[in-house]
Each structure stands twice: as C-alpha cells, then as structure tokens.
Amino acid sequence: MKLIFEKSVKGRKSFQITKNEVVKSINIKPELLRKENAILPELSELDVVRHFTELSRRNFGVDTNFYPLGSCTMKYNPKVAELIASYTGFAKLHPLLPQLRIGGMLTQGALQVIYDTDMLLREITGMAGFTMQPLAGAHGELTGMMIMAAYHNDKGNDKKTVLIPDSSHGTNPASAATAGFKVKSIKTNQYGVMDLESLKDAVNDDVAGLMLTCPNTLGLFNPHIREICDLIHSVDGITYYDGANLNAIIGKARPGDFGFDIVHLNLHKTFATPHGGGGPGSGPVGVNEKLLEYLPVSVVVKRKDGTYSLQYDKPKSIGYIAPFYGNFSVILKAYIYILMLGAKGLQRVAENAVLNANYIREKLKKYYHLPYEGICKHECVFSASKQLQENGIHAIDIAKALIDKGFHPPTVYFPSIVKEAMMIEPTETESKETIDAFINAMIEIAQLAKSDPEKLKAAPTTTPISRPDETAAAKNLDIANL
C-alpha cells in the first residue's frame, strides 16, 4: 500500500511516502500495526442521507408537537434567531482571532454582543453585573456557589451550610454539595412554598446561604421572599435565586429587587435557544455589588475608546470556569430575542406563560388531584393519586397514553414531594387550540382510567415499539437502542 501525497502547485516536485516510511518516521511498534486493512463501512451518500433523515423523522420536538415537559420550558424558539446566529460572521468566528488589530477588529462584534447582553440582563434582573461564561443552568449554579464560598472565605466566615427547600430543582442541592457545602433541606408547607417557621429554626451562624428556586418546582411563587432574604442576610448569609424559568416573572418583577445576591438564568429555556438533547446551553450568573469582584474571568469590558476586550485581571475572581466567550451562539440568540421582543414583548411572555398554566390548572382540576391549590406561575403540578386509588392507574400510564394522542408527556414523578406527580408546563408560545386539544386528551384519559384501565396500561400502541421495560432498558443497551 502506498500513501500518495501530491502537490499540484506548479514547479514543485510531487512526492510520495510509503507506508513503511510513515511507520518508521513515527516509530510505531510492529506489534501494534494492523495485519489487515480495517473494515470500513462503504455507504453511498444517498444511503447516509436516508439514514439520518429517517432518524430525524423519528424525533419528537417542539417543531412537531406540543411538549409540556414541566421545569424544562420546551417552547417555540423563533427561527430568525437561528438564522442570524448562522451568519458566517458569527458562526465561523474562532476564539483565538485577535480582539483588536488595526484594519480588522474581527471579534469586536462578538464582544459587543456579550457586553450588551450582560447590560440587558442587568436591567431584567436588577443585578449589578453578570458572568456570561457558564455553559448550562447547573454550571451557573456551581459558579454561584463558588462565588458564595469565595465571599465567605474572603471575610473569614466559617460557614458550611446551605439551606435549600425540598421543592427546589434537583440540581440545587447537587451544586451546593459540589461546591463543598453541607445541604440542609427545608420543608414545603401546605400552601406549596418553603415553610417560613422551619426556615427560621434552621437559620444560624453556620448558614452560608440559601438557594431558592422561584417559582419553585410546584410552579408557586413564595410570597415571603423579602422576609426570607432579610433572615438569611441577618447572619451574613448569601441569597441565591434559581431563575432558570424566568419566563414566569420576566418584565414583572426582578430578583435583585427581592433582595437576592446571586441569580442564574437559563438562556436556553427563557431566551430563545431550544432546550434539550444535552445542549448547548448558557447559564449566566448575575450578582449584586458586594459580590462583583468574585465573578469568574474573563469579563468583557468596554474601553474608553468604545472598543471591547476580555479582561482577565481580577485578583479576587473565582477564576476560570469556561473557555473564551462561553457558549457564544446561545448568548447571541438571547440577545436577538430580547431586542426583538422589547420590554413589552418580554412582559407578554410572562403573562402568557402564567395564563396558559393556570388555564390548564383550572380546566383539569375536576379530573386530577391538585395537591396545592392557588394560582400558579409558569407550570402546574397534578397528581395521579385519584386514578391510582380508584383504578390502579399510575402517572406513567397517563404519560404513555398521551403519546398515543400525539403529545409529549409532562414531567412525571417530579417534584418528588408530590406522589404520582405530573408537572405540566405549557409555555407562553402555545395557541389556545393546542392547549384545548391537550386538555381534552387529558380528560379523555381520565375517563378511560375509569372505563377501561387495562387499555391505558397497554399504552402506547401507536409507536413503532410498545412500552419498554424501563428497568431492563437502562441495563440492556440492545433493548434501549430499539
């Protein structure tokens, strides 16, 4: 076999390197050399195109169907943001291109986008500054907890405990523990929000701070939010607001005004990047004045002459948590989305997210048990406990039956404080027709639970494969790959 490299440039001699010469030059041990040629798949372009098109048609997504997966904000994201993000000037930027060079300031536009998005997020949240670096919501949480730790270290505070209500998002305790804190869980009261008396009992000098998902995973907003912040501040604790689902309050209220010291946002839920499939995401973290100096590097700064640069020189910074520009395309799409909607549009986002969730809550509460009554924010949580008690039907059966009716199931069995939980988040982008069709499907399923429960247990029946044995599928990849 011969590897042949040819240079077609005129005047240059073409040259050839034999396999033996390659082996010699990079010193591969004889026992590591293959004896026969590798069997590589031989497929035509058409076969490959058909394979991937077929896979894409099996996809279930927001572009195909209603996707009310609670706590995930599976909403429609305007295609114009995708289009602009795909412009060569953005998409082909390399992080090592020079920030500033006479005659070609190649990354100045990107730096301005990051800088301006930071400024817009300050206005939206009421915080004093942001890091745009974190690559996901949970990454933002970890960054925030590292900032909390840096603050206490700097002040010489010996504090180890972070308080987190049991209705918070599951990543909250994980992030606090990863940052080295002890987590103390605070229970949720009968109204579905963190119990204030239990919090008062838990606040002491060892408390480094509190992490609050708000609205919480029941979709409920905590009315004691000011008092909670004051309580934590009274022991020099830091308050952290999980704002992954800011669509619940955007343009209406600001975590900074509530008294929070740290906030993270999920640009890939609230601000125009499809969420799911493992990324990419962006979880910017905002802080108030007293924590600004701990923000990670790099930070985009604006120079006096109006140009932008990445600044690394911050002595008290927690350091480096992501390379270069963060997930730039996600930041860019958030920027486009915010500018496109404007203040009024963002307020309508919150209004519609909340209206849609409450419409579903009202329409379905006759059919499914609603463990926490009262107006919700962007999502509502039902329980299948009534169906379980009366007909032996579980939340999972209802979820599978929804697939047959063309809907993605809601989040089930979460939050864990609700038995047989079904967490429904319609988002702000769905039409009344779609939401009504979903409500009707849920009502039909509730009726079927009474009239023919066995049929429900057999769902889904319209999919290429029937209901898998999920325990086996997690262990046996052959089943999982079906």
Ligand X SMILES: *Cc1c(COP(=O)(O)O)cnc(C)c1O
DSSP 296: P
Q: Give me the least distance between CB of 74 and ligand X, in Å please.
A: 11
Is the peptide bond prior to 451 cis by the omega test (within 30 degrees of 0)? no
The residue with tokens 């640069």 is 309
**Helix/strand/coil for 316:** coil
Secondary structure (H, E, C), 358-383: HHHHHHHCCCCECCCCCCCCCCEEEE
Q: Give me the least distance between CB of 269 and ligand X, in Å please.
A: 6
**Structure-block tokens of residue 410:** 């809601």
164/295 with CB nearer ligand X: 164
The dihedral formed by the CA atoms of 127, 132, 133 and 134, expressed in degrees to the nearest 10: 60
Q: Give me the least distance between CB of 249 and ligand X, in Å please.
A: 13
Query: Which residues bind to ligand X, rule: CB under 6 A?
Result: 71, 136-138, 169, 171, 213, 242, 244-245, 266, 281, 283
Q: For strand 308-311 and strand 299-302, is the pairing parallel, antiparallel, or unpaired?
A: antiparallel
72/393 with CB nearer ligand X: 72
Contact 442, 364 (CB under 8 A): yes
CA pair distance 26, 17, nearest whole angstrom: 13
Q: Give me the least distance between CB of 167 and ligand X, in Å please.
A: 10
**Structure-block tokens of residue 329:** 């395309």
Q: Give me the least distance between CB of 360 and ligand X, in Å please.
A: 18
CA pair distance 414, 416, nearest whole angstrom: 5
**Helix/strand/coil for 402:** helix
161/245 with CB nearer ligand X: 245
User: Which residue's CB atom is positioned nearest to ligand X?
Assistant: 137
239/387 with CB nearer ligand X: 239
Burial class of residue 183, CB neighbours in 10 A (0-12, 13-18, 19+)? middle
309/414 with CB nearer ligand X: 414
Q: Give me the least distance between CB of 281 and ligand X, in Å please.
A: 4
Amino acid identity of 311?
Answer: Q
152/169 with CB nearer ligand X: 169
Q: Give me the least distance between CB of 384 and ligand X, in Å please.
A: 22
Q: Give me the least distance between CB of 1 and ligand X, in Å please.
A: 48
219/371 with CB nearer ligand X: 219
216/387 with CB nearer ligand X: 216
Contact 241, 398 (CB under 8 A): no
**Structure-block tokens of residue 467:** 């209901």
Is the peptide bond prior to 68 cis by the omega test (within 30 degrees of 0)? no
Q: Give me the least distance between CB of 215 and ligand X, in Å please.
A: 9
CA pair distance 384, 131, nearest whole angstrom: 41
263/445 with CB nearer ligand X: 263
